[in-house]
Amino acid sequence: MDSRGLLGLTVALLSLLSPCLTGLIPRVSFPMGSPGRRLTRFSSHEVSNTTTLLLSDDGETLYVGARDAVLALDVRHKDTIFLRTKLDWSPSEKDLEQCSMKGKKKADCPNFIRVLQFLNTTHIYACGTFAFSPRCTYVHSDTLTMSLNTDEGRGRCPYDPYQRNTAVIVDGELYTATVADYRGNRPVISRHLSEGSRVDLKLDDTLGWLEDPTFIGSSFIPREEKIYFFFSEVAREYNFIDKLIVSRVSQICTSDVGGQRTLQRRWTTFAKTQLLCQAGSELPYNVIQDVDILPPAEGAPADDTLFYGIFTSQWAGNSGRSAVCSFRLADIKSVFSGNYKVLNRDTLQWSARVQEKVANPGECGLHNASDNALRFVKENFLAEDSVRPVGKRLSVMSAEHTYSHLAVQRVQGANRRLYTVLFLLTESGYLHKAVLLPLGAHVVEEVRVFEPPQPVRSLKLSVPKGVVFVGTSEGVVRVPAYNCSYYWTCAQCVLSRDPFCGWDPVSRACVEVSGAQSGLAQDVDGGNVEEACNSISLPHRTRFGPNKLSTASCPAGELVAVSLNEVVRLQCPAASQLSQQLWERPNSRLSSDLYLELDDGSLSFVATPATLGHYLCLSTENGYRQTMAIYHVRQKSSPATPAPTSRAQLRARAAASPGPRTSAGSWPETAEPKPSPSVRNAQVTTGQLGRNATLRTEEPEFPGEEPLLSARCPNYLKELAVVSVLLVLCLGLLIAVTACGVRQRWRRKTAPQEGAPPRDSNGTTPEEQEPLNENDLFNKRSGPPLHGGHSSGLVCNGTLTDSRQHLPNTPI
C-alpha cells in the first residue's frame, strides 16, 4: 500500500474512533443592537480596515492601523468612542500605478498598516504594505506625527495585505515573522533596529528552517529572555505524498548575536517543535488560527505560563470544527531540552539523531560556541517530541462554530477561586464568552458584533478596563467583558454561571465580583440556584423572582378568547437557550391525544369545552423551575359552530398558525409589547423578553362579561343563571310533550283500530319516542366525559367546577 492509501486508511480509522461530539450552546444570545447588551461602535466612511490594534498601558487610548491611516481613538468613556487624532499615510499616484503594473488589484494597492508597536514611551513604530512595497516609520504617540524619513519594510512587513504576520518590540528592537519577497516565497524570522555591538539577525534561507509557514503570533517571556513564535507549516518529517500541515512553536533568544564564523548574522538559538492539539485517539486539529498568552497567577512560577490557541483541521472528518488547546511553558521547555531530529541532506529524510550530542539546540549563549557546535545546532533544529496540551485534552471543542480569534483572562470568583474565561470570535460575527470548568466549557453568552462577511478582523482585550475591542474591515466595536445588570433575580444571576457576576443581598442586584465584596451568591461550577440563593438572607421574591406560582389556585394571566373547534397556539418564551419548556394545567393533565407541544416550545390544541381553562408555561434549567407565561382560554360570547377538526388537521393548522388568535400576538425577543388601552399588565419574569417583560390581561370584548381579575377563581354566576333558565325551558317542553303523548294514548284506547303499531312496556310507540331521543343524540355527539369518566374541571381553593356545565354559551 502506498503512502496515500495508508494516510486515507489512518484517517478513516481515527474517524470511527472519534467519540460523539456534544454541542457548545451559548446560554443567552444577543442580536446586534439588542438593548440587553449595549455595545459602543466607531466607524467612519473615511476609515476602513481597522484591524491592527494597539492599546495604551492606561487603557484610555486605542491606536488603530487602518487603510492609509493610523488612528488614535479615545476609549475612556463607556458609551462613546471618538477619534482623537488621525495620521494619513497613503502611497502616491506613481506608487499606485506601479502596483497595478505588477498585476495587483487596485483594491490591494493602498497602504495597509500591519505592524503597530510601542518603540518607547514617546513613539510608535508602524509598518505598512504601501502598494506592495513595504515601508516603516516612527510615529509620535501623542501628536501622531510621522518622521520625515521612512525605512524599507522588507522583512518587517508583508507585501500582500492578506498575508499574516506577527511582530513584537523588546528593548527597542523589532522581532518579526513575515515574508521577505514580493511573491511570498521567502519566509523569515528576523530582528531589526539593533544598535551598538548588536547586529540584525535572520534565518539562513538555505537550510529550509521554515516550510511555507503561516505566522500567527509571538510572545516575549522576560524571565526566559526568549521570544516564542507560533505558526503552521508543511511537515517534511512525515513521508506522505499529500502535504501534511502541522502547528509549530519556535524559539529564539534575545541575547543572540550570531556566530563568529559559522552562522554569521544568523540565529544560533533557533529551534522548533510541533504543537499537538489532540484528545485521545481523535483526529488532530493541526492548523493553528490564533494564540494568546495567559500569565501565571500571582505568586506562581513563570513555568505556569499558558498559551491558548485556536485550531482547525485539514481532515474532512473534522471539517467545520474548531478546538481550543492550552500549552504550558514548562512542557514547551521540556521538549526543547530533549532530543532532536536530523535532516539527511542527500535523501531529504528526517530521522532520530544517533550521533553524539555536541550542543543543546535552542540554548541561549551559543553565539560563543565553537564552529563544530554551531554546525550541530544548524542541522538539528527540529525537536523529536511534540508538545501536548494541558491534561492531554481539548479545552474547548465546537462542531457548530468556527472560531478565528481569541483572548484569555483569569477571573477570581466570589469563592476566591480562579476561573479561566475565553473570548472567542466566530466567523459568523459572534463573540462568545466561555468559562472553562472541570466538566467542560460553559458559554455564558454570545453577542453579535458584526455582520459577515468580514475578511479581516482582530481582537484586543483590556483586562484593567474590563472590555474587549473587536477590529473589523468596517470599524471598531467595544464589548464590555461582563453584563451583570441583565440578570434581575438571584436565580438568573446564579444560572448565568458568570465568574464576573454575583448576587448582592444588600443592593438586591447582580453586580460585578470584586475583592472588597463578601457574601455574594454565586455558583460557577454547578449553577445550583437553591443552594446559592438560600445561603444568603433574602426574601423569597428577591431570590426567585415574582413568578414562583402555586398551581393550586387559578392565577390571572393573558385572556385568549376563542371559538369552539378553533385551533389555538400558545407561545412560551424561553428563559435561556439551555432551558427546557413544559406546559401544565392546574388540576388536569395534558393528553397527547388533545395537545401538540411543538419544537419552539409552543402548545397547540383545538378549542373544545374540555380544553378551555388555565395554562401555565414553565421553564426548567439546571433543576430550577420558573413560570414564564400564564394563559386563560375562554369561549367567545357568540361562538360559531364549525365542523370538528381531526388531529391531522390540527397538526397542519398548528404549523401554519403564528400563535394564539388574540391581540397579544407573538412574543418579541427584546422589546416590550405595547398593549392597547383596554389591556392590563401583569409583571412576569421572563428571560427572552428582557428585564421587565409584561404579560397582558385583556378587558372583555363582549357586553355583559366581567373582566378577568386576579381573583382566586372565575365567577360563573351569570352563566349559571343562563343555564338554569335553559334547563327550565327544556323541562317545560318535556312536560308538554309527555302530556301530548298521554292524551294520544287515551284517544287510541277509546277508539281502537286494526293494524296499530305495537306498544312498548310503558305504553309508547316508536314515533312517540322520537322527541325524547333528541337528548340522547346530543349525549352521543358530546361523547363520554374525559379523564376516566369524570368531568374535567379546575380545582380552585378546594372547589370542583365542571368545565362543561359552568362555561359560558355552551351549545345545548
pLDDT at residue 545 greater than cutoff 60: no
pLDDT at residue 789 greater than cutoff 50: no
pLDDT at 749: 59
pLDDT at residue 44 greater than cutoff 60: yes
Closest to 427 measured CA to CA, from 391, 447, 453, 466: 453
pLDDT tens readout for residues 665-683 = 333 333 333 333 333 333 3
pLDDT greater at residue 287 or residue 751: 287
Last residue of a domain, one of 698, 730, 761: 698
386 and 267 fall within a common domain: yes
Closest to 532 measured CA to CA, from 623, 595, 603, 610: 623
Q: Give 354's pLDDT tier (boundaries 50, 70, 90).
A: low
pLDDT greater at residue 482 or residue 315: 482
- The CATH number linked to 302 is 2.130.10.10
Provide the number of structural domains found in the chain. Answer: 3
Please compute the mean of the pLDDT values over residues 393-400 and round it to a whole number.
Answer: 93
335 and 381 fall within a common domain: yes
pLDDT at residue 257 greater than cutoff 50: yes
pLDDT at 197: 85
Closest to 573 measured CA to CA, from 547, 539, 540, 611: 547
pLDDT at 586: 87
574 and 656 fall within a common domain: yes
Is 300 among the domain residues?
Answer: yes
pLDDT at 23: 65
Strands (E), 667-783: 679-683, 694-698
286 and 353 fall within a common domain: yes
Is 67 among the domain residues?
Answer: no
Please compute the mean of the pLDDT values over residues 395-419 and round it to a whole number.
Answer: 95
Is 464 among the domain residues?
Answer: no
Domain range for 275 is 1-23+163-399
639 and 504 fall within a common domain: no
pLDDT greater at residue 399 or residue 241: 399
pLDDT tens readout for residues 490-519 = 999 999 999 999 999 999 999 999 876 778
Helix crossing, 717-750 with 766-782: angle to 10°? 160
pLDDT at 537: 58
Is 649 among the domain residues?
Answer: yes
659 and 522 fall within a common domain: no
pLDDT at 659: 44
pLDDT at residue 327 greater than cutoff 60: yes
User: 597 Cβ partners below 8 Å, 6+ apart?
Assistant: 582, 583, 590, 603
pLDDT-wise least confident of 1-15, 82-96, 385-399, 549-563: 1-15
Please compute the mean of the pLDDT values over residues 27-41 and round it to a whole number.
Answer: 94
Grid coordinates representing 89 are 499615510
Q: Which of 17-21, 532-536, 546-550, 597-601 has the highest mean pLDDT?
A: 597-601
- The CATH number linked to 442 is 3.30.1680.10
pLDDT greater at residue 353 or residue 262: 262
Is 36 among the domain residues?
Answer: no
pLDDT at 793: 35
pLDDT at residue 657 greater than cutoff 70: no
Is 727 among the domain residues?
Answer: no
Is the peptide bond prior to 453 cis by the omega test (within 30 degrees of 0)? yes
Cα 548 to the center of its chain, rounded Å: 28
Q: Give 351's pLDDT tier (boundaries 50, 70, 90).
A: confident
- Please say whether the beta carbons of 658 and 520 come within 8 A: no
219 and 293 fall within a common domain: yes
Q: Give 652's pLDDT tier (boundaries 50, 70, 90).
A: low
pLDDT tens readout for residues 179-210 = 998 888 899 999 999 998 899 999 876 677 89
Name the average pLDDT for the chain: 80
- The CATH number linked to 678 is 2.60.40.10
pLDDT-wise least confident of 281-285, 369-373, 382-386, 491-495: 281-285
pLDDT at 665: 34
Is 413 among the domain residues?
Answer: yes
pLDDT tens readout for residues 97-116 = 999 998 999 999 999 999 99
Last residue of a domain, one of 492, 515, 545: 545
Please compute the mean of the pLDDT values over residues 420-433 and round it to a whole number.
Answer: 97
In whole angstroms, give the CA distance from residue 557 to residue 569. Answer: 15
566 and 618 fall within a common domain: yes
Taking residue 806's Cβ as centre, other Cβ atoms within 10 Å add up to 17
339 and 419 fall within a common domain: no
| Percentage of the chain exceeding pLDDT 90 | 59
Grid coordinates representing 701 are 370584548
Q: Give 807's pLDDT tier (boundaries 50, 70, 90).
A: very low
Report the largest interatomic distance among the alpha carbons of the chain, rounded to a whole angstrom.
Answer: 147
Q: Give 642's pLDDT tier (boundaries 50, 70, 90).
A: low
pLDDT greater at residue 320 or residue 144: 144
- Please say whether the beta carbons of 210 and 230 come within 8 A: no
pLDDT at 650: 54
Is 377 among the domain residues?
Answer: yes
In whole angstroms, give the CA distance from residue 578 to residue 599. Answer: 14
Grid coordinates representing 18 are 472519534
256 and 357 fall within a common domain: yes
Please compute the mean of the pLDDT values over residues 348-354 and round it to a whole number.
Answer: 75
232 and 306 fall within a common domain: yes
267 and 173 fall within a common domain: yes
Last residue of a domain, one of 698, 724, 757: 698
pLDDT tens readout for residues 464-479 = 999 999 999 999 999 9
pLDDT tens readout for residues 210-240 = 999 999 999 999 999 999 999 999 998 887 7
| Percentage of the chain exceeding pLDDT 70 | 76
pLDDT at residue 12 greater than cutoff 70: no
pLDDT at residue 770 greater than cutoff 90: no
